[in-house]
């Protein structure tokens, strides 16, 4: 009886999958053969391509409140789970800003590097990365605030209790217990953490760009 049961389970998985694949294949083929314009019905391959290209945007538009419970279930260690949540929210401005920076290089300098037969690596290290630094630090500043939001939301959802309870959980608990002074204290501390993070990013940016970039020099000449 066992083999039959097993094959039945297998069938119950394989059959729907096969139908699904068949549908997608027919969809793809029909679109190709009938030459259906993309704006009416895009081919599955078009959609997959878009998905593969735009994954950072996907990350960006997925609300952290919605995804936090999933992350907390998937990741065993709560601390790590909270860090993952904060990272998911914070990473996007850094990625998009840095990409923009890597592309915004003075074309004259690109030509200069080409004239001097610079390798791709040399161009990246000596030209693209320094050019991208101001953008990267801009992203870092935005992300420092977002990371805090991410971790607070994640902690609301995770509801870590006990000794490792964070400030966000304190706020939640104070709400339940109507312990308003305690809530204000936690709020104040979170705000301070945000300010400290932001100041740290400003300091880093000043350290890296202070000598040369307009944003850090200000109007002096």
Partner 1 sequence: MVEILSAEKIFPNGTRALAPIELTVAGGEFLTLIGPSGCGKSTLLKLIANLIEPSDGRIFWWSGEFRKVAASGRSLAFVFQDPTLMPWARVEANVRLPLDLAGVAKADSRGRVLQALARVGLEGFARDYPRQLSGGMKMRVSIARSLVTEPDLLLMDEPFGALDEFTRNRLDGDLVRLWWERRLTIVFVTHSIYEAVFLSTRVVVMGAQPGRICKVMPIDEPHPRGEAFRNSPRFAEYCRALSATLAEVSQAVTPTR
Q: Would you say 39 or 121 has its CB closer to partner 1?
A: 121
- Window 133 to 192, contacts with partner 1 (CB under 8 A): 133
Rounded to the nearest 10 degrees, the angle between the axes of helix 64-74 and helix 129-158 is 80
Work out the widest C-alpha separation in the chain, in whole angstroms: 88
Q: Does 35 bind partner 1 (CB under 8 A)?
A: no
Q: Does 3 bind partner 1 (CB under 8 A)?
A: no
Q: How many residues bind partner 1 (CB under 8 A)?
A: 22
Annotate 45-60 with b (16+ C-beta within 10 A) or e (fewer): eeeeeeeeeeeeeebb
Q: Does 54 bind partner 1 (CB under 8 A)?
A: no
From the CB of 211, what's the least distance to partner 1, in Å? 6
Q: Does 111 bind partner 1 (CB under 8 A)?
A: yes
In the chain, what is the straight-line distance between the N-terminal and C-terminal CA atoms, in Å?
A: 88
From the CB of 115, what's the least distance to partner 1, in Å? 5
In the list 12, 46, 114, 195, the residue contacting partner 1 (rule: CB under 8 A) is 114
Q: Does 77 bind partner 1 (CB under 8 A)?
A: no
Q: What is the dihedral of CA 194, 196, 200, 206, to 10 degrees?
A: 100
Choose one: 20-28, 33-41, 43-51, 108-116; the region binding partner 1 (CB under 8 A): 108-116
CA distances in angstroms from 26 to 17, 29, 30, 52, listed in the order given: 14, 5, 6, 22
CA distances in angstroms from 135 to 34, 58, 98, 120, 203, listed in the order given: 46, 21, 6, 21, 15
Q: Would you say 117 or 163 has its CB closer to partner 1?
A: 117
| Interface residue list for partner 1 (CB under 8 A) | 106, 108-109, 111-118, 122, 126-127, 130, 133, 209, 211-213, 217, 221
């Amino acid at each position: 009886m066992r083999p039959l049961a097993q094959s039945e389970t297998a069938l119950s998985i394989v059959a729907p999958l096969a139908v699904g694949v068949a549908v997608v294949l027919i969809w793809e083929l029909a679109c190709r053969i009938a030459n259906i314009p993309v704006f009416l019905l895009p081919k599955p391959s078009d959609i997959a391509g878009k998905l593969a290209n735009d994954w950072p945007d996907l990350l960006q538009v997925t609300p952290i409140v919605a995804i936090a419970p999933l992350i907390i279930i998937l990741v065993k260690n709560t601390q790590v789970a909270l860090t993952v949540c904060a990272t998911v929210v914070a990473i996007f401005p850094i990625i998009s800003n840095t990409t923009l920076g890597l592309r915004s290089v003075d074309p004259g300098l690109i030509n200069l590097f080409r004239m001097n037969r610079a390798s791709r690596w040399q161009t990246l290290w000596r030209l693209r990365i320094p050019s991208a630094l101001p953008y990267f630090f801009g992203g870092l500043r935005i992300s420092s605030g977002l990371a805090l939001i991410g971790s607070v939301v994640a902690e609301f959802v995770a509801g870590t209790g006990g000794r490792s309870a964070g400030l966000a959980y304190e706020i939640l608990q104070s709400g339940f217990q109507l312990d308003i002074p305690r809530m204000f204290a936690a709020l104040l501390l979170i705000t301070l953490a945000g300010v400290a993070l932001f100041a740290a990013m400003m300091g880093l940016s000043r350290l890296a760009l202070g000598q040369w970039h307009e944003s850090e020099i200000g109007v002096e000449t």
